[in-house]
Each structure stands twice: as structure tokens, then as C-alpha cells.
Structure 1
Amino acid sequence: MATRDQVVVVGAGLGGLAAAIRLAAAGRDVTVVEASDVPGGCCGTATLGPYRFDTGPSVLTMPSVLADTFGAAGEELDDWLPLRRLDPYYRFAYHDGSVFDVVRGQEAMAEQVRELCGPAEAARYLRFRRRLQQIFDVEWPLFIDHDMTRLRAMVRPYALARLAASGGFRRLDRLVRSCLTDERLIRAHTFQALYLGLSPRKALGVYASVAHMDTVGGVFFPRHGGMHAIPVAMAAVAEKAGAVIRYGVRATKVEADGSGVTAVRLDTGERLQARHAVVACDLPAAHQGLLPDAAADWRLRRPSYSPSCLVLHFGLDRRLPDQAHHTLHLGEQWDSTFAALEEGRPQPDPSLLVTYPSSDTGAAPAGHATLTVLEPTANLRGGLDWDDLGPRLRDRLLDRLTRLGYGDLSTTPSLTIAPPDWLRRGHSAGTPFALDHRFTQTAWLRPSGRARRVPGLHFAGMYTAPGVGVPPVLISGRLAAERVLEGRR
């Protein structure tokens, strides 16, 4: 029989590794099973000849959450994963030719706004920045950094009243427009709705906290190894703490009896006894055979998925002088692009995220560089013919990049990832962004972090609360570990 100390973690992504570190550091007998040959999950990596690319998130905010994860095992983040703060955090390039850099510091940012939009808007921006802080201060401890597996976690009248007073329950677009008037600045503080899979007109104002994390808290990047260095370092810390990580092994069934979880079966034929299992992989896929029938969650009966993305990774034979790490090329159209995504169609005038990790010198040979371009697009739920559409969107994107000044990249070594590729990589609906963050998929209404009818079965990752993004996924792993350590079966 399994002992109370035995835990199996399914998936060595950021959520699974965050749980494994804490559980192993607390003395639990932890085994992590990962179908891939490397850690990372969504925070993956790919190579093309001498070039290395991050295939997952390019944005790291709230490094204190990452430091807290390492600290749970008595380790210092800087010893394992030195970070640097990007400067600028983002560069916005607008269709009218204007450029706006998001930089560190309140006064420096106010000066950027003053130069772009004038002194009156700069004063409005400073008031808006205070509003962002108010929302963040209420939302973070009570609704992001908090276990939402029980309904009463949401019933906090005083906190809800404070959020309402600061505009948190207004629509994000209306909240920002009530503070700012320049369209360029408004878009710079509402584009983050794309992270949530929603239009700014449909996302709640509470998600202004994402803009706060990006534009106030700052954006960071590992000094070596790209974003994939994060799970690599976390896996090493987990193993040092005593966890066993088994790569190239797939979990096929979480077994349970009337008392709860009993074991996890592997595709090797092995049966790992366990009293707790933390499932930190694609949750809808897990319900297609991996999980017991009793683990069914009503919140996943009619899931609403985020849009997907078309990503082109280029291996450049040159460097790009004065190119920012993150550049957002915002299209002239705005509302219609979000409407297209909501209707399951490609955007008519997409905004592009261009990532140029110039400081990651190991990603390319000397004198060369890598460039990644992301275009939001429809997921596979719309039934589009991607055999036909994929090449056409790729050609359109290459033409757009030429017009934006990146040169003719049609013959440059490249790797393309479209929605069907995301599906083959294990992402339901062909989107790496999981469920969107509409109200009915937020906090307690998001798929639960534990299976109420299967004691000992817990979940981590972007399908559970708090949701999508590196800090929320790390927090989901911490919350799962805390439930295990509390003995909540």
C-alpha cells in the first residue's frame, strides 16, 4: 500500500515542477513523470541547425514568485537562474509611425507619455498608474495568490467592495478609457487582454492587474539559456531536494478507490503507488482517459478556449541594431481584430509580438541572432481548413514583416508553429493558452484545483486558478503542494 508520503506529479511543466520542489523539500516521496525528454511543458525549446528558440512564454513578470519557489527548497534564485530586467520592457510601434517604450520607473514612464501624448495625458497616466496599483493590491493576495478550490474563497465582501470601487468589475476597455484619452496609450494598457483570450471590451477590469505586472512590475529574462532555462533550473532544484524525475515516460491512468488516489499507471506497464497525485498537464486531454470518471468537473462541460497563435521562429545571419527585446506592432484596426478572433476567424489586421532575445548569446552563432514573431489567430474549434489557411497566413506574415523593415525573410531558416502543430504538441483545441478568462472561467469558476470526489487528486497548471501566465502557473503548483501537505484528500 502507498504511504501518505508518496506523491506522483504528472507533467514537468512549471506548475508540476513548482509543486514537486515544495513537496520534495517538505520530505515527501515525489516522482515526476514527463512524456517529453526535457522539462518545461509549455515553456519549451526547439532547435533549427545552430539556432535555439523558446517555444513558450517570452514574458517573465513577478520574479518574486519564482524566487519564492526556489526559496521553498532553501535555494537562492540568483544562484540557479540569474535574471536581467529588460529595458525597455516593451516597445510599441503604431501604424502611424509613432513609437512608445515602456520603461522602468514612474517618472521615466511619465516622461515617455509626455513626449508621445502631451503633459495632460502624462498627468492622467500617473493617476491611472495609482489605479492599477489599487487593483493589484486588492486582487493579488485575495484572488490570485489564494486557493480557490472552495466557493467561500470568493465570498469576501470587503475585498469585493474595494475591487468594485476601483473599477475592477467594469470592462477593461471602459476602465482604461475612464483614465486615459490617447488611443495609443489605451492600446498599450489593454493589449494584455490577448493573454486572457478576450477582447478588452469583454475582459473584466480586474485584469488590469496584468498591465500592472507588465508595465509597472517589469519584464525579466534569464541571462543564459532563454526562458527554457527556467524549467531546467527548477528541475535541477527539485532533484536536489529529493524528487525523482522520469523523462520519456507517460502516465496512462490515475487509479483510485473509495478512499481516494491509490496509484498512477505508466505506459511502461509500471504502477507507481501514491496517496496523492498532482496532474499538471493539459486538463481536457487528461479527462479523456487519464483521470478517473469520478474526477469529472462540471466547469469543463462547455469549455471556452482562448484563441491560438501562428508563430514563426527565424535564424538570422545578422544582428538587428537597436531592436528591442519585445516589440509590439499594433495594427490600425483594433475592435475588428478582436471580433475576428471571437468568431474563430483570422484577424484582418493583426497585431504582432516580435521577440528578439539579443542578450541570449547562446541561442545563435556569433554575429547571428534569433527572431520570433507571434500573430494571434483562431484556434481549431472554428473548423478552418488549416492546410490551406496556414500557408496563406504565413505568406501574409512574411510580407508584413518585409513592410515593417525586417527585410525579406522568405528564404531565412525558419520554424513555423500553427494551431494544428499546437494540437500535435498536446494542446487542446490547438491553443497553447488554455481556457480564456471570461467571468465564468475565473477564480472558483475555473476548473478546480482538486477533485472533490477523488481524495488526493490535485491539479496544477494554466487550466486551473489563477490561470494563464508564468506567475499564475507557479502559484497553482504551490497551492497544489500546500493542499497535499495539509493532508487534504
Structure 2
Amino acid sequence: MRPLRTVAGAERIVVVGAGLAGLSAALHLRGNGREVTVLERDRAVGGRVGTHAGPGYEIDNGATVLTMPELISDALAAVGADFTSVDPPLRIHPMTPAYHARFADGSSLDVYSDPDRMVAEVTRVCGPDEARRYLRLRRWLADIFDAEFARFMDANFDSPLDLVGSADAARDLLRLVRLGGFGRLGARVNRKVSDPRLRRIFTFQALYAGVAPARALAVYAAIAHMDTSLGVFSVDGGMRSVARALADALVTAGGTVRLGAEVADLEFEGRRVVAVRTVDGDRHPCDAVVLTPDLPVVDALLPRPRRRPTVASPSAVVLHGTVPTSVTAGWAAGHHHTIDFGSAWEDTFAEITARRGRGRLMRDPSLLITRPALSDPGLLLTRDGVEHEPLSVLAPCPNLDSAPFDWQELACPYSAELCSVLERRGYGGITAGFRIDRVDTPRTWFDRGMIAGSPFGGAHLFRQTGPFRRRNLDPRYPNVVLAGSGTVPGVGVPTVLLSGRLAAERLGVTRPRRTVGGADPGLN
């Protein structure tokens, strides 16, 4: 097997972007003794794990679902830190249930990571026969995850041939084939369980990969395994606390984080980067650079444009604001995360994943409602003597390539439409009580440099998956390494943390890897 291509002799490294990928890469590099400077254009760390500061409150305006927190522990451990040593301490708690799911027929189901509790819940809602089928599905999800994690997710590739470049790799690839990993996710799940409600719960995660369940590769059952078996976690102070903790650990260990430092260009000598310049005129010499922004921003910094286009995932509209707790007290959905499914399913995905201008808004939307104060009461606020809680509502929608809507005109009426839908579904008082302070749309994401206005990055089509995804080391630029959702292994909090570690490995960092998927000793 050929040795993996790496960058030799890189002691001074500039990381562009202080999102989770950049901070993960920086910690692994700093733990290996490298001189690391992180440049972040915003005034706060976090990237996609960002923050909306409303009047009297803060709320995450990026990822809200945390799985596999042991990957955060790994990044902190690279510099000898842990959850308790950062300032302020990072407090992470398992959520029980992970999700509350509501369906158009009026039924609901709680999703538990514990198999016994989930069996009891499935028995209650779907009957004992379906509970037995659920256990069969759960075993298959775990087998898919175990077969692919170390070899295909937490791994660098120089070529698709690396999939069979060793006896171990060939064995794991054959195992995935036998498990049906290269079939279609929707079809495989449908064979395991028959209740349409369970089918939705174990396939909606395909949206994270940017593909409809009917078209997604079954290897993305690994995401459902993370979501429904390994556990979903809440973070005191919100997901933004994770980025702040990683940045604190890096600075404490001697790394540098510069905020408000937007990169203007890269200085090349031949094909190698020798310095990074910011818009305010600062020059940062380096032996290598790690680029974590979205691919349009990355490609604008590199001398030669990439010819192969990237197909983007669907996008999302997200409403952020507050609502009186006297209103939410009457809601049946009293959970941190509620997935409110419409009656349409296949049609919904067809609408938001259509190509070349044929995309449509969901006629019968499935929505994610996030109420973080239910896990962290410290987020409650009082306004004019009335207690309020922060609230976010996420509606998947087409990206700007799929549907080039004028979101400046559409944002307000579509927000009102979503509130009307929720009012009809039992969220009484939301139309009048939800004070919407911010609406993120595909235009928001596009203005931040995200491909086609999608916060989910490149869709995980077969030709954009694993070794076929944008490589994190481009042979045209021998000391430029990529990290983040645009490169391997892909989109999501666990995967971008992994991408940071993989980028560090491209720069010669090696370290033992712990077993993933179990309880973390640092959890509260």
C-alpha cells in the first residue's frame, strides 16, 4: 500500500477559520508542538456553530444537534485539556429523549438512545412486532457504522484505490457491501421496519447528507446510528460553548486566535503558500495553511479555479426569536428537539432536492423545533415582567441553484406561513406570541460564502462521497490542506471535528485513537 501523502517540515501553520474544523485542526497541531495561528473573519469563534444575539438572549444560529462528544474530548486532549479545565467549563448532558417526533395523524413518539426504553416506546406506538423489527434495524445501523467509521469516515484518501489498498481496507469494504451499504437507504430501512413513522425517524437524517432517503446511499445509515443509538447531547450555554471551549484550550496551550481577521489572499512562491495576508494588511508567514471556509471562498483564494462543479445540498430557512413560556406551556411538544412531520414525505424531498431551478418550497413541511431552555433553564429571560424562552424553527428548503427565489421579499411571508402551519398543528399562540428577531434564508448562507446558499455544503452523492469528495490535500498546492464540511469526511458536527484531525494528520501529526461510540467520562 502506498504511504499517505503528507506535508513535511511544516512548523508554522496558519489555520483560516475558527469553526469546529479549524479549531480541531489547530488543537491537534498545537498538541504536536506546531506554532499555530487561527485567523477568523468574524468577531466570535464558531463558524457554522454560530450565535444570534437577540435582545436579552443568545441562541445558536447554526447546528443545534450534538452527537459523539468524545470527538470534542479528543481535540481537547491533544493539548492536555478536558471539559473541566477550559474556562468556563464545558458542561454536556445526554438528552432523554433525543427527539420528540410528531406525525400528521396525531400520534407522537419519543426517540430514546437506550434500547430498552426505545423498545417500550415503539411497542406503545407501533406494537410488539414492530419493536422486534426495530431491534433488527438497530443492529444493522450499528453494523454499518462499525464497518465504515474507522476505515472510511475517520480516514484520509489519496485515491479511490485506497479503499482496497490493504487487506484490512478490502475486508471492511466487502463487509459494507454485504451489509447493503451501497444500496439505497430508504429501501434498506423499509425492509427492516414497516411502520411509516419509524421509517421517517430513521431516514430523515439523509437531509444532513443532502440527498433524499430514496436516493441516499445506505452507508449514511451511520448518521441515523449516531442520532438514534449513540445519543444526542445538550450543551449548557448552547452549542456555541463548544467552540469557545476549544478556542480557550488552544490559547491556553500557546496557540493564537485572531478575530476580525478576514483573509484577503494567499502569498505563493511557486506552488507553495509562504504567507497569509488579511484585509487589514497583516502578513502571517507560514510553512503550511489549513483552509476551512466553504468551497467558494477556498477556490477564490487559490490561483487556479477547480473545474469540477459541486452539487450542493438543500438549504434551510430558520426562524429565531422568543416566545412567552405561558404560550409554550400549552404545547404538547415539550422537548428540546421536536421533529414535526407533515403528511407528505417523498414529495417533500422531491420539492427541496430538485435540480436546475425546479425546486419548490415544501407544501406540507416537516419542521425542526428547538427549545434549548428546556435543557438549560439559564437561557430563560424576562421581558416586561413576562418570562420568555428562546425558540428556533427550521424548515428545509431548496438551495439557490435549485430555486433562485428572492428571499429578501419572501422571508417575511414565508415565516408567517410557517407559523400558521404550526398553529394548525397544535402550537397554540405561536402566531401572535413568537417574536421573530432573525430569519436566516439561503441568501444568508450565500452571503457568508456557502455554496448555493446551503449550510449543509456539498450533497453526499456517490461522486461526492468518501474518496470521491473534494480531497483535503490538492497535489497542485503541496502545502495547502483543507478541512471542514466541503472536504472529507463531510457535513455535520462529528464529521467536521474529524476533518480537523485528518487535516492535522496530513501535516504529519500522528496520535492514538480511542474507541468511539461509547460514553465519555467527561460528560455530566
Same fold by TM-score, threshold 0.5 exceeded?
yes
The aligned residue for residue 458 of structure 1 is 481
| Correspondence for 1:41 among 47, 51, 72 | 47
Q: Judge which range, 438-447 or 425-434, deviates more.
A: 425-434
How far, CA to CA, are the matches of 1:412 and 1:177 in structure 2?
Answer: 37
Amino acid at match of 2:119: A
What's the C-alpha RMSD, in Å, of the aligned pairs? 1.7
User: Is contact 2:295-2:450 (8 Å) kept?
Assistant: no
| Correspondence for 1:435 among 458, 461, 468 | 458
The unaligned stretches of length 5 or more in structure 1 are: none
Cα deviation digits, residues 239-296 of structure 1 (max 9, x gap): 11111111101111122223622111111212211111000111222212x1232xx4
| Correspondence for 2:92 among 61, 83, 104 | 83
| Correspondence for 1:184 among 180, 192, 197 | 197
Whether 2:343 is the aligned partner of 1:349: answer no
Whether 2:26 is the aligned partner of 1:20: answer yes
How far, CA to CA, are the matches of 1:120 and 1:183 in structure 2?
Answer: 14
| Correspondence for 2:207 among 178, 194, 207 | 194
Shift in Å at residue 217 of structure 1?
Answer: 0.2
User: Is contact 1:398-1:410 (8 Å) kept?
Assistant: no
* SS in structure 2 of the partner of residue 380 of structure 1: coil
* SS in structure 1 of the partner of residue 396 of structure 2: strand
Cα deviation digits, residues 355-396 of structure 1 (max 9, x gap): 011222333315321111000001111222324433332121
Shift in Å at residue 78 of structure 1?
Answer: 4.3
How far, CA to CA, are the matches of 2:415 and 2:507 in structure 1?
Answer: 46
* SS in structure 1 of the partner of residue 426 of structure 2: helix
Cα deviation digits, residues 192-235 of structure 1 (max 9, x gap): 1111111101100000011100000000011x210100101110
Distance 1:130 1:432, change over 3 A: same
User: Is contact 1:280-1:461 (8 Å) kept?
Assistant: yes
Shift in Å at residue 401 of structure 1?
Answer: 1.7
* SS in structure 1 of the partner of residue 22 of structure 2: helix
Shift in Å at residue 297 of structure 1?
Answer: 4.2
* SS in structure 2 of the partner of residue 405 of structure 1: coil
Cα deviation digits, residues 126-154 of structure 1 (max 9, x gap): 11111111111101111111112433332
The aligned residue for residue 412 of structure 1 is 434
How far, CA to CA, are the matches of 1:476 and 1:401 in structure 2?
Answer: 37
How far, CA to CA, are the matches of 1:379 and 1:206 in structure 2?
Answer: 24
User: Is contact 2:296-2:449 (8 Å) kept?
Assistant: no
User: Is contact 1:297-1:447 (8 Å) kept?
Assistant: no
| Correspondence for 1:333 among 332, 338, 344 | 344
| Correspondence for 2:238 among 226, 233, 254 | 226
Percent identical pairs in the alignment equals 41
The aligned residue for residue 516 of structure 2 is none
Whether 2:358 is the aligned partner of 1:362: answer no
| Correspondence for 2:317 among 306, 310, 323 | 310
* SS in structure 2 of the partner of residue 477 of structure 1: helix
The aligned residue for residue 215 of structure 1 is 228
The aligned residue for residue 371 of structure 1 is 391
Q: Judge which range, 343-352 or 408-417, deviates more.
A: 408-417
| Correspondence for 1:280 among 292, 295, 320 | 292
Cα deviation digits, residues 61-91 of structure 1 (max 9, x gap): 0111111111111112344312000111001
The aligned residue for residue 504 of structure 2 is 481
Cα deviation digits, residues 90-134 of structure 1 (max 9, x gap): 011000010110113111111111111111111111111111111
The aligned residue for residue 246 of structure 1 is 258
| Correspondence for 1:115 among 82, 105, 124 | 124
Runs of 4 or more above 4 Å deviation: none
The aligned residue for residue 386 of structure 1 is 407
Distance 1:359 1:486, change over 3 A: closer
Shift in Å at residue 425 of structure 1?
Answer: 2.9
User: Is contact 1:421-1:430 (8 Å) kept?
Assistant: yes
Amino acid at match of 2:480: L
Cα deviation digits, residues 436-483 of structure 1 (max 9, x gap): 111111011111101212111000000011100001000000011111
Q: Judge which range, 383-392 or 234-243, deviates more.
A: 383-392
* SS in structure 1 of the partner of residue 507 of structure 2: helix
Number of equivalenced pairs: 480
* SS in structure 1 of the partner of residue 258 of structure 2: strand
Whether 2:332 is the aligned partner of 1:324: answer no
How far, CA to CA, are the matches of 2:143 and 2:298 in structure 1?
Answer: 38
Amino acid at match of 1:308: S
